[in-house]
Structure 1
Amino acid sequence: MVKAIIVLLITLLFLMCGAASANDLENDPLAKRCINLFEIYKNNDLSAYVNGFPDEVVAILGEDFLKTELNNKHNKFEKNYNSAPKEIRIKSIENIQPHPTAVERIGVEESRKVFISVKGVNSGLQGSCSFNRIKTKWYFRDTPL
């Protein structure tokens, strides 16, 4: 009987920790930015999209490239999710190795990846948003879709 109560208490503890972790993930600033990307796609908001990248990356890639990329993501978003995913869930957030070239050329100090699951009426996506930290600000590294 005591053993059963201990197992039950341990199970409840793990469940409570898991729920807190999921809640923490949803409240993480990078997770929120990742989820907000779908609003940027929906609205085809070039200004918000470009502002998510460091100036050095915009200079290298060019705004026209980013505009084309955003238009492609907007069209895919419209097609797959009809502008309204049923659910966007944060799966995990992990530290990743910064790309050596990004460290050298634009001063990346840290990188993180936000893993997501997106469900639509007729489609789903397991993807991620990657971010680079330069000084005190986080920028897009890779975006989903």
Structure 2
Amino acid sequence: MTDEQTETHPLSPQDCLVALMIAVSASDENLRTAELMKIQNAVNHLPVFADYDIDRMNRMGKLVMDLFAEEDGLDALFGLIRDNLPEKLFETAYALACDVAAADGTLAETELRLLEEIRYELNIDRLHAAAIERGARARHTSL
């Protein structure tokens, strides 16, 4: 298999979820420890990742970073997500993205813009999005 074929190999639904979480973490150009721990915990504990090969996380990180280095990289990422993530996991993807964004206790403007773009690209209903966002906020509130 050539490198070009490897690059176009479809992503698994779990790859798509991991890629979106990494994209949210990387959106402010600073991969924070709390965000990376949130991604790791999600992959280790959520049922959707039960059969996921955790070694693929590094590949997804590299893919996201490579795409972010390109001019239209975000559009390419969303194209991959649309092509490989089943619609039934769209709200799951948005919930995971919100959890990663909220993990460090702050939401950078770039994270907010990316969450808005994810809502749009995945066609998340406004009421559902508000409920998902409120849940993430509640889970990550500190004293």
Q: Which has the higher strand share?
A: 1
Q: Tell me if both proteins adopt one fold, taking TM over 0.5 as the criterion.
A: no
Q: Which has the higher helix share?
A: 2
TM-score bracket, normalised by the shorter chain, equals under 0.3
Which is greater in Rg?
A: 1
TM-score, length basis structure 2: 0.26
